[in-house]
Structure 1
C-alpha cells in the first residue's frame, strides 16, 4: 500500500485547486481522475487554428477569490467587451436590462425594462414589489421573483437567464446558491428591485464576469503543471471505488478505469488496483461518484438529485461580413418555448473576449450555439441547423458554405441544479464530514453555483486539512 501526504479524488477544477493548495503547504498530493483529462467543464480546443474554450468561459466576479487565484498562478485576467446581452422571443428580440441580477431589474422604470415588459407590465411589477415583505420568503428563485414582481418578469427576464446560465427552471434553483445575499437584501431594502440596487451599488455598471486572457482553459492547465512541479502526482484514467478508515488515516481503494456505456457518466474503476493511505483525503468528484464513496463512511441519505441538462454546443468558425458589427452584442439567450429557433443561446465568442478577438484573423467569427434544457432529451445536432439558428438569432443572412470549421461538443448531465432541498442536504453532509478528521468534501455540487463559489470552497477545504 502506497502511503502519501494527501489524496484528492476528482480532477475537475475543485480537485485541481485542492491539490494545488496542498502543494502550497509543502505537501505532495496524489490526484485521482477517472477520465482521461483534468479540468472538468473547463476545457479548451482549437477551431480554425484558434485556441478557445469549449466549456466554461469565465466566472462571476461577485467574489474576488478566482481573480486572486489567477494572479497567484501568473495568469492575466480579462473582462468581456462592454455590450448588452439580448434575449429572443418569438415576438421579437430585445436587449436585457443592464442593471440587473439574473435578469431581475434594479429599476422597473428604466427604459430597457420598459422595452422588455411594456409600460403596463412594468407598472404591474412595480405595484407587486411595493407590497410589504413577508416574514418568510420563498427559498427558490422562481417563486421569489413571481411573488415580488409577477410572472411576466419571471418569464421574460429571469427564466431566459436561468436557462442559459444554469440550464434550469428558476423554480429549481435555490436563491442563496445562485445569488448569495439576495434574500437578506430584499428584507433590508423592502423590495426585490431595491435589493438588486443595493447589491449592484451606485456608479457605472461593472462587468459581472471575467476570464483568463487567452482562454479559461489555461487555468486548469496551469494548476496541473504547478502541482507536478511541486512533486504532486496526477493519475488520470484512475478512479476511486473505496474509502475507509485505516490505522494511519484513510485508505483509498482505486483502480484504472474504462469508459462506460454512457459517456455522460464517470468511467468505471474496474482495472488494475491501486491502494493509497493518507492522513488527509478530499472528495472532489461529481455527486454521482462522491455519494457512494462517502456512504462507506457517513450517512448520505437524502433527496434524489435533479439531473443536469443535456447541454451541447455547436461551435462555428465562420466568415460573414454581417457579423462584423456584432448585431447582438456578446450574445443572446432564447426564451423557453420559442418556436422560431431550436437553440437556447448564442455567444459571439470572438466579439465577447478581447484576447480571442485578437487571435482571430480579420473577418473570422467564432460563434457558440447552445442547445439543451433541463428535462429535455438530448437532440441530434448539425452544423446546418446551427447556422440556421444563428441566422435567425442575429438577423444576419448566414450560409453553411461560409463555415470555415466547426465542432460539436456535448456536456450531457452537466450543471445539475441545486434545489433548496439539495442545498439543505449538502449542508448536512458538510456537518457530518467536519466530524471526520482528515476528510474534506468540495466540488461544484458541494460548494455552490459556479467557479466563483468553487474556488474559495476548494481552497478552504484543503487548508482545513493541512
Structure 2
C-alpha cells in the first residue's frame, strides 16, 4: 500500500483541476483515470493538419473563475467572433435574439423576436408575460417558459438552444442549474423578460462563452503538465475499484489497470494489475455511476435512476469553400426538433467562430462541426456525405463531395445526462452527507452544476477544503 498526500479519482476536467489545486496547496496528488487520456470531454484531434477541439470548446462566461484559472495557467482567453446564432426551421432560418438567456428574450418587441415569432406571436408572448407572477415559479425551464411566454417561444426560441447545448428537453432542465440566478431575477423584475434583462444587463450583448486561444484542449494539457511538474502523478489506464477507511482514518483506494473496451465509447475494463493507495485526502471526481458505486459504502447513495444522456455525435468536415468566408450563418446554427429537411441537430462553423482556429486554416479552408443525436431518439447512421448534404442545406452553399478535404466522426455516448430537479436535489443531499465525513470530497460536471464554468470553482473549492 503506497502512502500519498491525496488521491483524485477521475481524470476529466474536474479531477485535473482538483489535482492542480492540491499542488497549489503544496501537496503531491495521484490522479487515477481509467481511460488512456485526461481531460474528459475537453479533447483534441487534427483535421486537414489543423489541431482543434472535438469536445467541449469553451465555457459560459457568467462566472469569472475559469478565466482566472486560465490566467494562472499562463493561457490566453479568446471570445467568439461577434455574430448571431441562427435557428433552422423547415419554414426558414432566422437569427436568434441578441439579448436573451437560453433563447428567452429580454424584450419581446425586439425586431429579431418579431422576425422569429411573427407580430401576433410576439404580442401574445408579451400578454402572457404581463400577467402577475405566482408565488412559486416552475422549477424546470420548459414549464417556466411555457407558462410565462407560451408554447411558441418555447418551441421556436428555447427548445433549439436547450437541445443544442444540453442535449435535453427543456422540461428536463432545472432552471437554477442551467441559468443560475434567473428565477430570483424574475421575481425581482415581475416578469420573465424582465428577469432575463436583469441577468443580461444593459449595453451591448456580451459573448456568452469564451475559450482558450489555440483551443480549449490546451487547458487540460497545461493542468496535467503543471501537476506533474509539481511532483504529482497522472495514472491513466488505472481505474478505482473500491474505497474504504483505514484504521488510522486514511482513505484506502483499491484500483487496477484497465484496457480499452471493444466499444471505445464504453468505460474501459479492468486488466487485473492492482494499484493500492493510502491518503488522508480523497476527491471523487469521476462520472455519476462509478461515483455512486464508490461512495455507497460511505454515505447513502440511494436516489433517482441515472439515465444516460442522449448519444452525441459530430461529423467534422474540412471543406474548401471560399463562399463561407463571409460566414453566411454567423458562427453556426441550431436545428429545431421536427425538421424534415435535415437530420442534423446543429452546425458550428468552427473556423469562423474562433479567431485562433481560423488563423490556422489556409485561405478558403473551413472547419464545420455537424452535430447529431437528440434525447429520446436513436443515434442515426452517420456519413460524410450526409453531413455535407445537411451543411449545404443549412448554410445555403453547395458543398459537393469534391470540396471535402478531410473529415472525422466523433461519438460521445451518454456524455450529457440531463440535470433534472430530482437529480439536483439528490446531488445536494450527497454533498450534505459528505460534509460529515472527514477527508473526502465529491466534484465533477454532474456534481457541481452545468458546464466548465461551474465545475472549475467547485473542484478548486473541494480540494482546498481538504487541505
Normalised-by-shorter TM-score class: over 0.9
CA deviation string 1:177-232 (max 9, x = no partner): 00000011110000000000011111111111000000000000000000000000
- TM-score, normalised to structure 2, is 0.99
Give the distance between the partners of 2:291 and 2:402, measured in 1 at CA. 46
Name the SS of the counterpart of 1:309 in structure 2.
coil
Give the distance between the partners of 2:52 and 2:322, measured in 1 at CA. 21
Preserved CA contact (<8 Å) 1:31 1:234: yes
**Counterpart of 1:79?**
79
Name the SS of the counterpart of 2:219 in structure 1.
helix
Give the distance between the partners of 1:293 and 1:262, measured in 2 at CA. 24
CA deviation string 1:238-291 (max 9, x = no partner): 000111111231000000012335433321234211111100000000011111
Give the distance between the partners of 1:375 and 1:278, measured in 2 at CA. 42
Q: Structure 1: state its 5+ residue gaps.
A: none
Preserved CA contact (<8 Å) 1:240 1:269: no
Give the distance between the partners of 2:418 and 2:379, measured in 1 at CA. 17
Name the SS of the counterpart of 2:186 in structure 1.
helix
Is 1:105 equivalent to 2:105 in the alignment?
yes
Name the SS of the counterpart of 2:394 in structure 1.
helix
**1:321: Cα distance to partner?**
2.2
Q: How does 1:43-442 map to 2 (within 5 A)?
A: 43-248=43-248, 249-442=250-443
CA deviation string 1:109-157 (max 9, x = no partner): 0000000000000011000001111011111000000010000000000
Give the distance between the partners of 1:114 and 1:19, measured in 2 at CA. 49
CA deviation string 1:61-95 (max 9, x = no partner): 00000000000000000000000100000010000
Give the distance between the partners of 2:306 and 2:194, measured in 1 at CA. 33
Preserved CA contact (<8 Å) 1:242 1:296: no
Give the distance between the partners of 1:365 and 1:119, measured in 2 at CA. 37
**1:305: Cα distance to partner?**
1.8
Give the distance between the partners of 1:189 and 1:457, measured in 2 at CA. 29
Give the distance between the partners of 1:268 and 1:252, measured in 2 at CA. 17
CA deviation string 1:420-443 (max 9, x = no partner): 000000000000111110000000
Name the SS of the counterpart of 2:92 in structure 1.
coil
Q: Which moved more, 1:303-312 or 1:186-195?
A: 303-312
Give the distance between the partners of 2:464 and 2:132, measured in 1 at CA. 43
Give the distance between the partners of 1:72 and 1:269, measured in 2 at CA. 36
Q: Structure 2: state its 5+ residue gaps.
A: none
**1:307: Cα distance to partner?**
1.5
Q: Which moved more, 1:246-255 or 1:220-229?
A: 246-255
Give the distance between the partners of 1:303 and 1:260, measured in 2 at CA. 27
Give the distance between the partners of 2:341 and 2:64, measured in 1 at CA. 39
CA deviation string 1:300-335 (max 9, x = no partner): 000012321110000011001221211000000000
Give the distance between the partners of 2:337 and 2:380, measured in 1 at CA. 15
Give the distance between the partners of 1:21 and 1:98, measured in 2 at CA. 37
Give the distance between the partners of 1:57 and 1:47, measured in 2 at CA. 16
Q: How many equivalent residue pairs? A: 466
- TM-score, normalised to structure 1, is 0.99
Name the SS of the counterpart of 1:148 in structure 2.
helix
Give the distance between the partners of 1:131 and 1:265, measured in 2 at CA. 49
**1:163: Cα distance to partner?**
0.5
Give the distance between the partners of 2:22 and 2:287, measured in 1 at CA. 20
Compute the RMSD of aligned alpha carbons.
0.8
